[in-house]
Amino acid sequence: MSKPFKLLIEDHNKVKTLIKDMLASSSKDKAKRKEMLAQLKQELKLHEKIEEKYVYPPMEEKKATHDMTLEAYQEHHVVDVLLGELGHVDVSDEDWKAKLTVLEENLTHHIKEEETELFVKAQKNLSNDVLNQMEKDIAEAKR
């Protein structure tokens, strides 16, 4: 897997770990849950911005990755909706954990498709120049 996709996979791993920590947290520790939710929103917002601005556009242009890229945009939208709803539920409410579990399931599906299908196809169908530019753009956006 080339460098731009490795950078994105690092983000995926960070988000998965954060959600697992959130699910393991106590409903009594409201401050910690709020802090972790804010961190999750920040991580996902930046990750989505990077993918939608630098990664998805060249993939959308290729026939081999076009349809999966359009699906990925929609999966980002679903994650945003769930995150927004999660922010309106009290972190000590049992519905918060249920909604977080649904978010985790959606993200797990999205991440698995990206890492095992979309990134693999993109690696084969994008030029080295495009992949190198993608890597530079991702690194810059993360700074």
Q: What is the pLDDT of residues 108-134, one digit of tens each?
A: 999 999 999 999 999 999 999 999 999
Q: How far apart are CA 3 and CA 26, in angstroms?
A: 37
What is the maximum alpha-carbon separation in the chain? Answer: 51
Name all contacts of 30-38 with Cβ < 8 Å and 24+ positions apart. Answer: 30/91, 30/92, 33/91, 33/92, 33/96, 34/91, 37/86, 37/87, 37/91
Which pLDDT value is given to residue 1? 82
Mean pLDDT to the nearest integer, 94-111: 96
Contact in structure between 8 and 138 (CB atoms under 8 Å): yes
Task: Name 10's Cβ contacts closer than 8 Å, sequence gap at least 6.
Answer: none
Mean pLDDT to the nearest integer, 27-35: 96
Q: Is the pTM of this model over 0.85?
A: yes
Task: Tally the domains of the chain.
Answer: 1
State the CATH number of the domain containing residue 109.
1.20.120.520
Which pLDDT value is given to residue 132? 95
The whole-chain average pLDDT of the chain stands at 96
| pLDDT above 90 as % of the chain | 97
Residue span of the structural domain in which 112 resides: 3-142
In what helix (H) or strand (E) does residue 34 lie, and over which residues does it extend? helix 30-50
pLDDT at 80 over 90: yes
Cα separation values, 93 from 7, 27, 126, 138, Å: 35, 7, 46, 37
Which pLDDT value is given to residue 112? 97
What tens digit of pLDDT does each residue of 33-63 get?
Answer: 999 999 999 999 999 999 999 999 999 999 9
Q: How far apart are CA 92 and CA 115, in angstroms?
A: 33
